Chain A
Amino acid sequence: MSSSKGISGWSSRIRLRFWQGFLLGLLLVAWYVLTSPTLLPPIYFAEPNQAAFFFGEPLKVAERLWRWFATGEIYEHLWVTLVETLLAFLIGTVFGVVVGLWLALAPAASAILDPYIKAVNAMPRVILAPIFFVWFGLDIASKVALGVTLVFFIVFFNVYQGVSEVSPVVLANARMLGATPRQLLRHVYVPSAMSWVFASLHNSVGLAFVGAVVGEYLGSARGVGYLIHQAEGFFDMNTVVAGILLLTAFALTLDWAVGIAEKRLMVWQPRSSEAERT
C-alpha cells in the first residue's frame, strides 16, 4: 500500500475508487433485479415473492434504515451496543494488562496457571452467554461479561509477549540509570507491553463488539442485536438485512476510530515511510 506517487498516483487512486463504487452499484442492481417480485420471471423459486422473502429487497431495506434514523428509535439501540462494546473493551483490557504483567513477572505463578489458561482460552467462550444471563441478568452486564472474556485473552497474551520480549539491554540500561524494581515496571515493562496492546487494538475492539452483539442476539430487550433477533422472529428479512448493514457500518466506524487512536498513541514507533528515509 504505497501512497504519494504524484499525479499518476492520484489518478490511479480515483480509478480505484471508481471501480470500487462500480462494484457496489453492480451488487445493488443485481440484488434489486433478482429479488424484485415482478421484474423477472421466477428463475429458481416457484413463487415470485420467495426471492424477496429469503434475501430482502434493497429499497425496503433502505426505507427501513431511513425510518430508524428519521424516527430516532435506532439511537437507543445503537447507544446500548456502543456502551456494551466500550465497557467490555475497557474492562477486558485492564484485566488483561494486570494479569499479563503479573504472570509475566512471576514465572512460578505462570507455570502453575499455564494449563488452566490454555484450557480457558481453548473453550468456545460464546457458550458462556447463557451462564452470564443467569448471573448478570438480561441487561447490559451479561453482554459486557461475554465481551470481557473475549477481549481479556487477546490483551493478556499480548502483554505477556510484550513483557517477555523487553530488550534485555534496555532493561540493563534502566537499572544502571538507577531504576528501582517498581520504576522498571512503570517505565520499562508497562510501556513495552502497551505497545503490544495497541498493536492488538483492532482485534480486541472487534471482539468486544462481537461479544456485545452476540449477547444481545441471544437474549436482551435492547441493542442492535436484539432488533435483528426480533425481526427474525417475524421473518422480516428486510429488517434483518438493515440491521446487519448497520452493524457493519458501526464496526467500520469503530475500526476507523481505533486507527486514529493508534496513530496518536504509537507516535514513537517507526512507520515504514519514515524508516526508509533514515
Chain B
Amino acid sequence: MIPALALENIDCTFASREDVSQRYTAVRGATLRIAEGEFVSVVGPTGCGKSTLLNVAAGLLRPSAGSVKVFGELLSGINSRAGYMFQAEALMPWRDTIENVIAGLEFRHVGREQAQARGRDWLRRVGLAGFEKRFPHQLSGGMRKRVALAQMLILNPQILLMDEPFSALDIQTRQLMENELLELWGADRKSVVFITHDLEEAISLSDRVVVLSAGPESHPIGDYAIDLPRPRDVAEIRLSPRFIEIHTRIWHAMKEEVLKGYEQQQRH
C-alpha cells in the first residue's frame, strides 16, 4: 500500500548565521513512513530535530537531500493535503475566534455564509460554542488550542502534523485535549504525525512510536507498535500493565539518547 506520507532519506543541514562555513546537520538519513489512518508519534530528546522533520513534511522547509512523497506524489512547495498544529501561538490575534477558524475556507474562496456555518459547527465540536466573537487574547491557553484544532480540521486535511501542540498546557487540560483529539481522530481516522518529548503522551495516543536519536545528525533509532486497545482514555490507560510494559521497553532504548542530548545541551 502507498503510505500517506513518506519521508525518504532526509538530510537537513543549516548554515550558521554568524559564520557560513559553520554547518549544523540537524537530521541525517531519516526515513519515516506513515500509513493511511495511522497515528504515529515521534519522540526524542529536546533539540533532536523533531520539528525540523515535521516542517519538511509540511513543505515549509526544503530538505538538503532526500524526498517527501504524499500519497505517492513527490512534494514540492506547501503540503496542501496536510494540516499543521504549531507548538507556539499561531492564531491571528486580530481575528476573533470564528474568523480564525474559517480563515482557511476564506483563503479557498468558500462563500461567507457557508464558511460561517461550518465554522460555528466546528467551534461547537471543540466545545467552544458561544465563543465566536472572542479574540485570542480573551481565551485561555487550552481554548486557544481548541481554536487552532478547529482551524486545522475544518479544512479536512488527510494528514495531521502536530508539533507538541499541548506542551504549554497544564496536565489536566492537556489530558482533556488529548482525549478530545482521540475522539475527533477516531471519527474519520486521518494519518497523524504527532511530535512530543513526552513518552507517556506518545504511547497513550499512538498506533506507533518512533524514537529519534539525539542531535546532531538525528535519525530514527527505534520503531514500536503500540497494541493497546481503542477507544482509549489517556488518563486511565497509563495505569494498565501493558502500558507500563511498553513504556519500560521504549524508555530503556531512549534513555541513552536523552542523556546524550542532555550532555550536548550542557556543552553549548
Contacts and interface: CB of A to CB of B under 8 A. Distances in A.
Interface of A: 167, 169-170, 172-180, 183, 187-188, 191-192, 195, 267-270, 274-275, 278
A183 B107 contact: yes
A147 B139 CA distance: 41
Interface in B78-96: 78-80, 82-84, 86, 88-96
24 contacts: A169-B90, A170-B91, A175-B60, A175-B78, A176-B58, A176-B78, A176-B82, A176-B83, A177-B104, A177-B151, A178-B78, A178-B107, A183-B107, A187-B92, A187-B106, A187-B107, A192-B94, A268-B93, A269-B93, A269-B137, A270-B137, A274-B138, A275-B137, A278-B138
A169 B88 contact: yes
Nearest to A175: B78
B155 interface: yes
Contacts of A270: 137-138
A267 B104 CA distance: 23
Interface string B174-209: 000000000000000000000000000000000000
A264 to B, nearest CB: 13
B60 A174 contact: no
A268 B135 contact: yes
A200 B86 CA distance: 31
A68 B104 CA distance: 58
B86 A172 contact: yes
A176 B84 contact: yes
Contact of B89 (A169, A178, A275): A169
Contacts of B94: 191-192, 195, 268
Most chain-A CB neighbours within 10 Å: which of B58, B78, B80, B136? Answer: B78
A155 to B, nearest CB: 18
A32 B154 CA distance: 72
B86 A169 contact: yes
B268 interface: no
Nearest to A277: B138
A269 B94 CA distance: 7
Contacts of A275: 137
A111 B60 CA distance: 26
B138 A177 contact: no
Can you list the 3 inter-chain pairs with the closest CB atoms, starting with the nearest?
A: A173-B90, A177-B104, A270-B137
B89 A176 contact: no
Given A172-B84, A173-B86, A270-B137, A179 B107 contact: yes
B108 interface: yes
A177 B137 contact: no
Contacts of B103: 174, 177, 179, 187
Nearest to A173: B90
Nearest to A177: B104
B140 interface: yes
Most chain-B CB neighbours within 10 Å: which of A173, A178, A191? Answer: A173
Interface in B127-156: 135-140, 151-152, 155
B137 A274 contact: yes
Contacts of B106: 187
